[in-house]
Amino acid sequence: MNALLIDDESAAISELRNRLLAAHPAIRIVGEAMNVRDGLKKINALRPDLLFLDIEMPGGNGFELVRQLPPDHRPEIIFVTSQGTYALQAFRVAALSYILKPVDADELKAAVDLATIRLREKNSGQRLEVLLENLRTDNPADKRIGIPSEDGVEFVEASEIIYCEGVEGYTRFHLKNGKTRLSAYSIGHYLRMLEPFNFFAIHRSFLVNHHHVVSYANSGVLDLSNGTQLEVSRRRRGPVKEWLGL
């Protein structure tokens, strides 16, 4: 993979370059840039497969760079950031890779391994479009969620997900249209991702969308909009009633 490093801190670029050279021989660093304008020029000239992209930079942040990427060349991106929860949430929801500063060797390896797989899937452009769409809207129900599977990534609106079910380390999404989608990630992964969208873990195996709760019985059973009934675990009945405003 040909890689371009974009960061406004020369020390950060140097550290990342050294880590990549030492542990990732399959990556060839073809260039470096320290701002959005220079980064875009080098992307157009060098056509890298992979970007390591900082968020906060002079002359526009990393999201501005993503908005200006040429439609015919949208490389795989690994965001390298010290940003807080909001930015990380945006990356997770759009199924995009990120690593936090200071760069950890294991996190870097995981991100590079995933980038290798995703370059074969050729869906970077779609994931970047979802990121930008989600950044433009403040309504959680309108945001699109990436569901990674063995076949790639599928995106659905948060409002279309009725509930998620943990199944032997995987997660099955039950959708408003009656269909299901199986993700390769565990339900714990989606618990962190979907809580800001008003989902709640009513049981260690069930994550429910508040928008699709029809009723709650004192026996601990939730009725959902698709006719499904789910039992709330005993220790979570109090928190669920709070979540429902009962």
- Find the Cα–Cα–Cα–Cα dihedral 162, 164, 165, 168, rounded to 10°: 150
The answer on pLDDT for 148 being more than 90 is: no
Q: Are residues 188 and 118 in the same domain?
A: no
**Predicted confidence band of residue 89 (pLDDT cuts 50, 70, 90):** confident
Task: Name the token pair of 102.
Answer: 């200071």
* Domain's final residue, options 104, 134, 164: 134
Whether 120 and 164 map to the same domain: the answer is no
Residue 46 domain-assigned (yes or no): yes
On whether both 49 and 90 belong to a single domain, the answer is: yes
Q: Which two tokens stand for residue 216?
A: 């709650």
In a shared domain, residues 165 and 127:
no
Q: Identify the CATH number of the domain in which residue 118 sits.
A: 3.40.50.2300
Residues 164 and 121 in one domain: no
Say what the pLDDT of residue 22 is.
94
pLDDT digit string (tens) for 7-19? 999 999 999 999 9
Q: What angle do CA 206, 176, 156 make, to 5 degrees?
A: 85
* Same domain assignment for residues 112 and 172: no
Residue 95 sits in the same domain as residue 125: yes
Average per-residue pLDDT for the chain: 92
Tokens encoding 231: 């039992």
Q: Which of 82, 104, 134 is where one domain is finished?
A: 134
Instruction: Inform me whether the pLDDT recorded for 88 exceeds 90.
Output: no
Q: What percent of the chain has pLDDT over 70?
A: 99
Q: Is residue 143 part of a domain?
A: no
Q: What is the pLDDT of residue 86?
A: 66
Instruction: Kindly state whether residue 84 falls inside one of the protein's structural domains.
Output: yes
The answer to whether residue 148 sits within a structural domain is no
- Using the 3D structure, point to which of 99, 134, 169 is the last residue of a domain: 134
Q: pLDDT over 90 for what percent of the chain? A: 71
Quick one: 240 and 192 in the same domain?
Answer: yes
Q: 15 with 130, same domain?
A: yes
Work out the average pLDDT over 128-156. 87
Q: Is 142 a member of any domain? A: no
- The tens digit of pLDDT for each residue in 33-87 reads 999 999 999 999 999 999 999 988 877 889 999 999 988 889 999 999 887 666 7
**Do 123 and 200 lie in a common domain?**
no
Domain that holds residue 64: 2-134
Structural domain includes residue 91:
yes
Q: Is residue 10 part of a domain?
A: yes
Any idea what DSSP says for residue 75?
-
CA–CA separation, 8 vs 37, rounded Å?
12
Q: Which two tokens stand for residue 53?
A: 């992209």
Same domain, 6 and 95: yes
